[in-house]
Amino acid sequence: MVKFLKEIKDYIIIIVVVILIRTFLVTPAIVDGDSMNETLLDGNLVLINKLTYRINDINRFDIVVLDNDTDNDRIIKRVIGLPNERIEYKDNKLYINDKEVKFTTYDLEIGIEYIMECTVEEQGATVVNAIMFSEIIRKLPDAEIHIEINENNLLVIECEGSLYKLATMNPEEFPELPKIDIENSIEMEQNSLKDMVRKTIFAVSTEENRPIFTGCLFEIRNNKLNVVAVDGFRLAWKSKFLQTAVNDFSAVIPGRTLNEINKILNDSFDTIKIGVSKNQALFEMENCKIVTRLLDGEFLNYASVIPETWETRIRVDKGSIQNCFERVSLISASSIEKEKKYPVKVNIEIGKVTISCTNQTGDAKEEIFVETEGKNLEAGFNPKYFLDALRAIDDPEVFIDFGSSISPCIIRPTEENGDYIYMVLPIRMKE
């Protein structure tokens, strides 16, 4: 037995060495198919170096062998794209990171990153005055635009007979957009979010002494998104049930951010993802993302201030009453005493509403026939607040509910789905 082992010792060593080499260093593989022509042909034997990528990273154009778990086979391919690169095959041509330009703006409160498809002749980066650049681009003819950085580090913009050169700054000094650890998120159609913002954003406060009211509340409760804006004189609330289950959460998004988002949103069914952390929010679309800080503070308990009952109700054609308010507001806004605000008087009688205003400039009175329920009533309002709500409502008819001459007034569509409510406080009328 000992003699036998001595005789096969060399063979055992060879087998062990071969096993070690195939396990840790190299192993053979057979090319199957013609996808690698002309580099490798069907049936070619290749040796796989298992040690290389334990030391070095994979580079573009390397030939790699992958295990195909589905077919219990191996796939031999050439590396074309690397992590974080965009690969596109179009019109029989392969594009790698050469069909887009990325625009980034950030003022430490709101950041926007937008990717636009274009032809990139040479990669690079720079920083330029955003307002100046955007205004130039916006006013250029509808033709091909060529942008480059010249030898003097000036941004050169050419379009037909137009030529502009703008000073630039070092891109390495431009702050990066913050990375957000998303704690809660939702997805919805862009047109739905655009509609919700449009119907609430005008009620956001412009007074910086109450910063929490300079934004809109985004609240998820019982799988329903509530967007609420309030400025101390009025309140706008829009809701929508979400199609997928999400956790309850709330965040106050700055009004400035929402105005910028609404400029970017498409009136389409394309999705947008909204993610929030403790102090930041992220809005992501296919080619754009917006990062913003959240407003800190306790928002109004809006549900507790919206009246549940009414004493007087009118049902009226939205366009008709809107036109009346627009005409009467011409007198209201034309006061000789610019600092003095003259309200518009709303007088409700059976089957009729009278809207009027009187000041040093003149008098205005409009009468409109409506459906009425409840008591007669007289109250004064800022006409702008009424008009903002009426312009936001898409329904042809609206309900306008009153409690008393000093109680909040509620404007809502006649469609009783309860997804939009606008509340405005009256102005005390002088006797």
Residue spans of alpha helices (H) in 50-129: 52-55
Residue spans of alpha helices (H) in 61-111: none
Structure tokens at 81: 């794209």
Task: Tell me how crowded residue 403 is: count the other CB atoms within 10 A of its CB.
Answer: 17
pLDDT at position 5, please? 54
Under 8 Å between Cβ of 344 and 356 = yes
Architecture of domain 100-173: Roll (3.10)
369 beta partners: 352
CATH 3.10.150.10 in the chain is located at: 100-173, 184-302, 306-424
430 is catalytic: no
What are the DSSP calls for 173-205, one per residue? Answer: GSPPPPP---SEEEEEEHHHHHHHHHTTGGGS-
SS3 state of residue 210: coil
CATH class of the structural domain 184-302:
alpha beta
Structure tokens at 107: 């003022």
CA dist 170 and 186 (Å) reads 37
SS3 state of residue 327: helix
CA dist 18 and 25 (Å) reads 10
pLDDT at position 119, please? 74
pLDDT at position 227, please? 98
Strands across the sheet containing 184-189: 100-106, 110-117, 288-293, 280-284, 271-276, 184-189
Under 8 Å between Cβ of 185 and 281 = no
77 is catalytic: yes
CATH class of the structural domain 306-424:
alpha beta
Structure tokens at 299: 């928002």
Chunked mean pLDDT (size 10), the chain, 431 residues: 60 66 66 66 70 66 69 68 64 56 89 84 86 93 91 92 94 89 94 96 92 96 96 95 90 96 90 94 93 95 93 96 93 62 89 91 92 94 94 94 93 86 88 56
Q: Which of 35, 134, 162, 268 is catalytic?
A: 35
CA dist 242 and 196 (Å) reads 13
Q: Which of 9, 77, 278, 375 is catalytic?
A: 77
What are the φ and ψ backbone dihedral angles of 293, each rounded to 5 degrees?
A: -75, 155
Under 8 Å between Cβ of 204 and 299 = no
Structure tokens at 387: 């008009």
